[in-house]
Amino acid sequence: MTVEHIPVPEAVPEQTKPAEGVTDEDRAALRTRYLEERDKRIRADGTQQYKDLKGILKLSDDKDPYTEVKPREPLSDHVDFLFLGGGFAALTVCARLKEAGFNNMRILDSGGNFGGVWYWNRFPGAMCDTAAMVYLPLLEEVGTRPSAKYVRGPEILAHAQRIAKHYGLYEHALFSTHLESLTWEEEGQQWRVKTKEGDNFTATHVAMGTGPLNKPHLPGVEGLEKFKRPAMHTARWDFEVTGGGWNDEVMDKLKDKRVGIIGTGATAVQCIPQLGRDSGELFVFQRTASAVAVRGNHEIDPEWFANLEKGWQAKWLSNFVTLMSTGIADVDHVHDGWTDSVKRITGRMIQEAVKNGKNPAEMGFADYIKAYHLSDDEYTTAVRARTDEIVKDKKTADGLKAWYRQYCKRPCFHDEYLETFNRPTVHLVDTDGQGVERIDETGVWANGKHYELDVLVYATGFEFSSSYTKRSALEVYGRNGLALSDAWGEGMKSYQGMHVRDFPNLFIVGIFQGASLISNVTSNFTDAGLTIAAMLKKEKELGTKVIETSVQAQDDWVKLILSNTNKITGGPECTPGYYNNEGHEEGEKERLDGGRYPHGSHKYFAYIDDWRTNGRFEGIEFDGQEVAVAA
């Protein structure tokens, strides 16, 4: 069965439509307002403003509230392949290895089960803001049907664990285990792995899937440690305090409580409706508003899904990547706020070209940015108008309006968030860009006023922009004792975002310096699994033991990454956030750490597919020699 996209019930709202009648004067006023709002929020300490959870909040990785940790005997054996992490990166890579016939593997994770970020992030209302048909990997392989276009956290976690069961990955899992050190042993051509639980084993190959949503952090606010009442980060929700559960059960322990939440980003947009529903009173402390557009969620028709033709997910993924990279495709299978935004920009660029007598095919990135700005002025005006339509109190509505471009921050799509502020028990505390002043034993100070609270929630995100080893809470030692933090001291240096010179048989599985598809991160992981499986098959065919990038390949890749000046996310005119280095100019290190393939995600996936299937593996040395050179 072939359809353009998921059939949508008539009652479901369409995507937010751009406003009409935006004048040149309106556009100039918007630019002035955007810069004013940015300047209010710039902090001298930039990315250094955030703090670690440990020592401040009760719940951290040191205590798993979801799984009872049972004592076990330490391991001292050898495995051919070790994956560090138990989320979708591990599941997709190890599934591809299983399909290729590799079984001698181990998966190590600090959590008590598979799921990664979805194992830990059990805050109420948690869901993915990318359509499940493309976000959930291996749907066809394991036979999962998403219940809705956007599914909630419990369903995502269940799918992750279904993948593990389908591919027999539980027999390879080492849960509730914390890595202590990872060291390359040249003599044995293997990695020495030590854990805090006493394990001391070796692995020929190691893949690391500790992504950017691995380590939650707190804001740099005075007095964080002083609050004497229950407090939690959304990434480590404490249902013992709130009552209820992850399946949208009522948090009955909050019914007579004054609850505060700091943060109004993508996570807060999802959990505030539940907190507003269940709390006696809810105080939302806001530094910068999120731009919240229509989500339009709806159930997926079982009969329609059952009749999809074989191979549908690969086609949908390709279609989504193409649209997110170019804005042009014959059909739009996903048809959501993400694809709508890029189609809008590309359509405007073509419109401007035709109006000015130019060939659309010859338009460059400067033309694209101009089209983005023109179309974005109309789109964000409509989003602010939507806020006025929904939120009844004018002062609250004004406070909830975002004054920046759509891609300055991660776009938000939700149909219950704004409505929550119509509840008489929900109070917006807008700090006009200044943030919370301080925290004391009984509450929060903001705008010169003290708010006494019974429970405090931090929806303050993750260490997205910190160094890889800091986020991973691990140092990796390669050849001759070289630390990865030293090798990347001036910025991430890799080949294809996966291979690092002097770190043999190590595969970095992430989003940076590759396709960097932030709108659907699991696509990056699924593709990486195919690449690693292809290299291990080639190694077996050659009878070699060491896979490593050549110096030249890595140097050339770094130059390629630095050549990319075409960036639509973030920007110096944006309010501070992880998309723009907290408003500070990006140096070479920042450009490398957050770098992406300069020709677009779709072209990266096409390039890497050809690279792993042509048999030459250009730039990779097997036992010190490139296949292409040997041939």
Q: Answer yes or no: is pLDDT of 248 > 50.
A: yes
Which DSSP string corresponds to 153-182? Answer: HHHHHHHHHHHHHHTT-GGGEE-S--EEEE
Start-to-end C-alpha separation, the chain: 45
Range of the domain at 426: 217-290+409-458
Mean pLDDT value across residues 187-210: 97
Contacts of 416 (CB under 8 A, 6+ apart): 273
Contacts of 177 (CB under 8 A, 6+ apart): 108, 109, 110, 195, 196, 197, 199
Give me 367's structure tokens.
């033309």
Are 211 and 273 part of one and the same domain?
Answer: no
CA 120 to chain CA mean position, Å: 14
Q: Examine the domain organization and report whether 472 and 501 are in the same domain.
A: yes
Residue at 189 is within a domain: yes
Q: What is the mean pLDDT of residues 423-441?
A: 97
pLDDT of residue 210: 79
Q: Are 275 and 422 in a shared domain?
A: yes
Backbone angles phi, psi at 566, to 5 degrees: -90, 100
- Strands, E assignment, 345-417: 412-413
Same domain, 441 and 496: no
Q: How confident is the model at residue 149 (pLDDT cuts 50, 70, 90)?
A: very high
Q: Does the pLDDT at position 411 exceed 70?
A: yes
pTM of the shown model: 0.94
Whether residue 492 is found in the same domain as residue 526? yes
Comparing 33-42, 201-210, 565-574, which segment has the lowest mean pLDDT?
A: 565-574
pLDDT tens digits for range 89-116: 999 999 999 999 999 999 999 999 999 9
Q: How far apart are CA 348 and CA 404, in angstroms?
A: 19
Q: Is the same domain home to 485 and 610?
A: yes
430 within a domain of the structure (yes/no): yes
Same domain for 619 and 485: yes
Q: Retrieve residue 435's tokens.
A: 């943030």
Q: Which pLDDT score is estimated for 381?
A: 97
User: Any residues with CB less than 8 A from the CB of 24 and at least 6 apart, and which?
Assistant: none
In 10 A of CB 515, how many CB atoms? 27
| Residue 431: per-residue pLDDT | 97
What pLDDT is attached to residue 82? 99
Residue 231, in any domain of the structure: yes
What are the backbone angles phi and psi of residue 444, rounded to the nearest 5°? -125, 140
pLDDT-based confidence at residue 45 (cuts at 50, 70, 90):
low
Res 270 pLDDT > 70: yes
Tell me the C-alpha distance between 324 and 340, whole Å.
9
Quickly list H helices, 216-356.
239-242, 266-278, 302-306, 312-326, 337-355
Q: H/E element holding 613?
A: helix 601-613
Higher-pLDDT residue of 474, 435? 435
10 Å CB burial of residue 610 (0-12, 13-18, 19+) is: exposed
The mean pLDDT value for 527-538 works out to: 98
Confidence at 3, pLDDT banded by 50, 70, 90: low
Classify residue 56 as exposed, middle or buried by CB count within 10 Å of its CB (0-12, 13-18, 19+).
middle
Residues 481 and 616 occupy one common structural domain: yes
Q: Say whether both 82 and 192 belong to one domain.
A: yes
CA-to-CA distance for 563 and 599, rounded, in angstroms? 10
Find all residues with CB under 8 Å of 591, minimum gap 6, and list them: 491, 561, 562, 564
- Give the relative orientation of helices 24-41 and 365-390 as an angle to the nearest 10 degrees: 80
Rounded to whole angstroms, how far apart are CA atoms 381 and 240?
42
pLDDT of residue 466: 54
Confidence bin at 631 (pLDDT 50/70/90): very low
Q: What is the count of structural domains for the chain?
A: 2
Q: Provide the CATH number for the domain around residue 139.
A: 3.50.50.60
- 536-588 per-position pLDDT tens digit: 999 999 999 999 999 999 999 999 999 998 878 877 789 887 777 776 788 89
Q: Are 461 and 561 in contact (CB under 8 A)?
A: no
Considering the domain boundaries, does residue 547 fall inside one? yes
Distance CA 393, CA 508 (A): 49
User: Is residue 471 over pLDDT 70?
Assistant: no
Between 77 and 578, the higher pLDDT residue: 77
- Find which of 11-20, 577-586, 594-603 is predicted with most confidence, using mean pLDDT: 594-603
In a domain, residue 324? The reply is: no
Residue 148: DSSP 8-state: B
The answer to whether residue 61 scores a pLDDT higher than 80 is no
Structure confidence at residue 50 as a pLDDT band (50, 70, 90): low
Contacts for 625 with CB less than 8 Å, ≥ 6 apart? none
Q: Helices (DSSP H) in 474-520: which residue ranges?
A: 484-487
Residues 605, 609, 615: CA angle, nearest 5 degrees:
155
Q: Is residue 470 part of a domain?
A: yes
* Token pair for 218: 């707190």
Q: Considering the chain, what percentage of its residues have pLDDT values greater than 70?
A: 92
Encode pLDDT of 482-529 as tens digits: 999 999 999 999 999 999 999 999 999 999 999 987 778 999 999 999
Q: Are residue 224 and residue 206 in the same domain, yes or no?
A: no
Q: Which of 430, 458, 486 is the last residue of a domain?
A: 458
At residue 469, does pLDDT exceed 80?
Answer: no
Last residue of a domain, one of 390, 424, 458: 458
223 and 209 housed in the same domain: no
Q: Which of 458, 488, 515 is the endpoint of a domain? A: 458
**Domain annotation covers residue 340:** no
The beta-carbon contacts of 394-398 under 8 Å, at least 24 apart in sequence, are 396/421, 396/428, 397/421
Same domain? 122 vs 238:
no
DSSP code at position 434: S
In this prediction, residue 399 carries a pLDDT of 98
Q: What is the pLDDT of residue 261?
A: 98
In a domain, 562, yes or no: no
Q: What is the pLDDT of residue 216?
A: 81
Note the pLDDT of residue 568. Answer: 80
pLDDT bin (cut points 50, 70, 90) of residue 472 is: low
